[in-house]
Amino acid sequence: MAEFRMPSLGADMEAGTLVEWLVKPGGTVKRGDIVAVVETQKGAIEIEIYEAGQIEEILVPPGTKVPVGTPLARLRGEGEGAAPAEAPSAAPAPGVAPPPAGRPVPSPLVAAGAAVAELASPAARRFAQTSGIDLSAIEGSGPGGAIVLADVERVQAGKKPAGGLDLDAMRAAIAAAMARSKREIPHYYLRHEVDVTPCEEWLERANAERPPSERLLMAALEIKSVALAARRFQAFNGFYRNGRYEPSPAVHMGVAIAIRGGGLAAPALRDADTLSLSELMPRLRDLVQRTRVGRLRSSEIGDPTITVSSLGERGVEVLYGIVYPPQVALAGFGKAVRRPWVIDGGIVPRSVITITLSADHRVSDGHAGALFLAEIGRLLQEPDKL
Amino acid sequence: MNEDEIRKILLEELGNIAPEADLEKLDPAAGLREALDIDSIDFLNFVTAIHRRLGINVPELDYPKLFTLDCAVTYAASKLTARVTPSEAGAVN
């Protein structure tokens, strides 16, 4: 028997509100399934489960705020026998029995004889109530046509232009994390100017043949180059926790994403070093979109191993980042600018990006940082190999 | 498709990209990226939406022609017109 607990979604999180269950008692789950939605300062986060098995019992009802580590549900592992039945009153309600596989069953909630007009999850009901949305006007996408939170949110999004983000809470989370960083992490900073003309020329050629949905952006090259360098330079990819550094074998790239209206989140693009640019780009677009509507997954929030922050085309030339604890490094990219550049003794106009490294002196020194930063610059000279 | 219909579709897609923006107050002659605080990924989503909704594959070289809402409407209208001969024009939806 295992317990599924309220995960820690970042160093600054102490508690979370369970907003919605996406599984029912008796339901089976596999590793990586999204089983619940938790509301945090970073918005609503989809929580993944890391064990396979059957949900035995749900311990925390929707709408409850509990500390990190609180058991949320009991899970019977694969191959484990059923737990002995408890009190007779604990017999499962007809509505929650798993439907037999292979044949259509009527909506379990309807079968249970619910006389209410609409089938809706408690979270959907609550959200509809607070947003003044009429449930009877919504078509549900949940089991048996039940209205789930996402359906109401869709209606809400169409009705009123507003994200699912609480920007004040997000500001408080940024403040807590950055204050901790400035208090605890002895930063050092390096900067390196890199000729990215090869990247721009390569992108122009690659994108000329691609429809818009498959086009690549400079940001994808930046992320991939840092990911590859981070895989090689272990002192910049991992966590500083409990007084010691733990390098990470995987590279989960935190991507700093600005929220319009004032806000910032840096969720992880997981295993960024193993993705081709054509795989990385749609993942990046998806991540940016979900971050801005406040719909991230727990694995994306909890475990970036290093972060990239890129100002993009409308920014300025240099960004000096603050390391996001418990990470130990952040690579910052300014906007590309045309500069006179010396090549083979002649001066030519080239596109130049200033890349910075902010890193933790408890783990690495400027010498290693310089080699790491130079490696990123070198990788960007051969975009076709990224 | 006339320019009003094109404008309606483009505004709808801009609304999807920047849901918090008040598009009724958007100056059609203002630079979209500044006016709506749109970054390069948002802009790529806009170009992708134009491809999906209007069937116009905007090459990167033409991105500057989508600088303002008015420019984008004019550009899309000219691309749609160029695709049909006058005799077919009535059948275009």
ipTM of this complex prediction, to 2 decimal places: 0.86
Instruction: Average the pLDDT over each of A169-183, A186-200, B76-90 and give the range with the smallest value.
Output: B76-90
The predicted pLDDT at position A322 comes to 97
What integer pLDDT is reported at residue A31 of this predicted model? 84
Predicted pLDDT of residue B82: 83
Report the C-alpha dihedral over residues A64, A67, A69, A75, rounded to 10 degrees. -10
Q: Would residue B74 count as lying in a domain?
A: yes
Tell me the average pLDDT of chain A: 84
Please tell me the predicted confidence (pLDDT) of residue B83. 76
CB A284 within 8 A of CB B41: yes
The residues, ordered by sequence, that sit 6+ positions from A123 with a Cβ below 8 Å of its Cβ are A19, A20, A37, A62, A63, A148, A149
Taking chain A, what is the end-to-end CA distance rounded to the nearest angstrom?
Answer: 44
Q: What is the per-residue pLDDT across B35-46, written as a single tens digit (0 to 9) for each? A: 998 899 999 999
Secondary element (H or E) of residue B15: helix B3-17
Contact at CB, A213 and B39, closer than 8 angstroms = no
Are A215 and B58 within 8 A, CB to CB?
Answer: no
Cβ–Cβ below 8 Å for B44 and A157: no
Q: With b meaning 16 or more CB within 10 Å and e meaning fewer, what string describes B30-65?
A: eebbebbebbbbbbbbbbbbbeeebebebeeeeeeb
User: Nearest-CA neighbor of A355 among A335, A341, A379?
Assistant: A335
CATH fold, domain A168-385, is: Chloramphenicol Acetyltransferase (3.30.559)
Asked whether the beta carbons of residue B19 and residue A161 sit closer than 8 angstroms, the reply is yes
**A327 vs A42, more confident:** A327
Query: Taking CA A360 as the corner, what is the angle to CA A355 and CA A366, rounded to the nearest 5 degrees?
Result: 60
To which residue do tokens 């208090």 refer? A183
pLDDT value at residue A240: 96
Minimum CA–CA partner of A205 in chain B = B60
Q: Is B59 touching A (CB cutoff 8 A)?
A: yes
User: pLDDT category, A40, cuts 50, 70, 90?
Assistant: confident
Domain count of chain B?
1
In a domain? residue B10: yes
Question: Closest partner residue to A212 among B15, B33, B44, by Cβ?
Answer: B44
Of A9 and A96, more confident: A9
Q: Report the distance separating Cα A218 and Cα A222, nearest Å.
A: 6
Q: DSSP state, A259? A: P
Q: CA of B7, closest CA in chain A: separation in Å? A: 18
What's the one-letter identity of residue A299?
A: S
Residue among A159, A279, A272 nearest A216 (CA): A279
Q: Which pLDDT does position B21 carry in this prediction?
A: 85
pLDDT higher than threshold 90 for residue A326: yes
Residue B93 lies in a domain: no
Greatest alpha-carbon pair distance for chain A in Å reads: 88
Q: Is there a contact between B60 and A284 if contact means CB atoms under 8 Å apart? A: no
Instruction: Tell me the residue range of the domain where B78 lies.
Output: 3-84
**Sign of the dihedral through C-alpha A138, A140, A144, A150:** negative
Domain with CATH 2.40.50.100 in chain A: 1-80
**CB spacing of B57 vs A212 below 8 angstroms:** yes
Q: What are phi and psi of A95, to 5 degrees?
A: -70, -15
Chain segment A56-90, per-residue pLDDT in tens:
888 998 888 888 888 899 888 876 655 444 444 44
Within 8 A of B52 by CB-CB distance, chain A residues are 213
Residue A99: per-residue pLDDT: 38
Residue B57 near chain A (CB below 8 Å): yes
Q: Are A52 and A78 in contact (CB under 8 A)?
A: yes
Q: How many beta-carbon contacts under 8 Å exist across A and B?
A: 55
The domain over range A120-162 is classified in CATH as 3.40.109.10: no
Q: Do A260 and B18 touch (CB under 8 A)?
A: yes
CATH assignment at residue B24: 1.10.1200.10
Structure confidence at residue A85 (pLDDT): 43
Q: Which chain B residues touch A207 with a CB distance below 8 Å?
A: 60
Q: What is the pLDDT of residues A279-288, one digit of tens each?
A: 999 999 999 9
Q: State yes or no: pLDDT of A321 exceeds 50.
A: yes
B53 belongs to a structural domain: yes
**The token pair that represents B7 in the structure block:** 């404008």
Cβ pair A204:B45 closer than 8 A: no
Residue B22 sits at the chain A interface (C-beta within 8 Å): yes
**Helices H / strands E in chain B, number of each:** 4, 0
Helices (H), chain A: 108-111, 122-131, 149-159, 167-184, 197-208, 218-232, 277-292, 298-302, 366-379
CA distance A47 to A4: 10
pLDDT tens per residue across span A103-116:
333 333 333 333 33
Parallel/antiparallel/unpaired status of strands A71-77 and A28-29: unpaired
Share of chain A above pLDDT 90, in %: 49
Give a yes or no: residue B92 inside a domain: no
Q: If we measure between CA atoms, which residue out of B66, B64, B88, B87 comes closest to residue B77?
A: B66
Instruction: Summarize pLDDT for A137-177 with one digit per residue, the tens.
Output: 677 777 667 777 777 776 665 543 334 678 888 898 899 99
DSSP summary character for residue A315? S
Cα diameter, chain B = 42
According to CATH, where is 4.10.320.10 located in chain A?
120-162
DSSP at A145: G
For domain A1-80, give its CATH number from 3.40.50.970, 2.40.50.100, 3.90.25.10, 1.10.760.10: 2.40.50.100
Q: In the structure, what pLDDT confidence band is assigned to residue A97 with cuts at 50, 70 and 90? A: very low
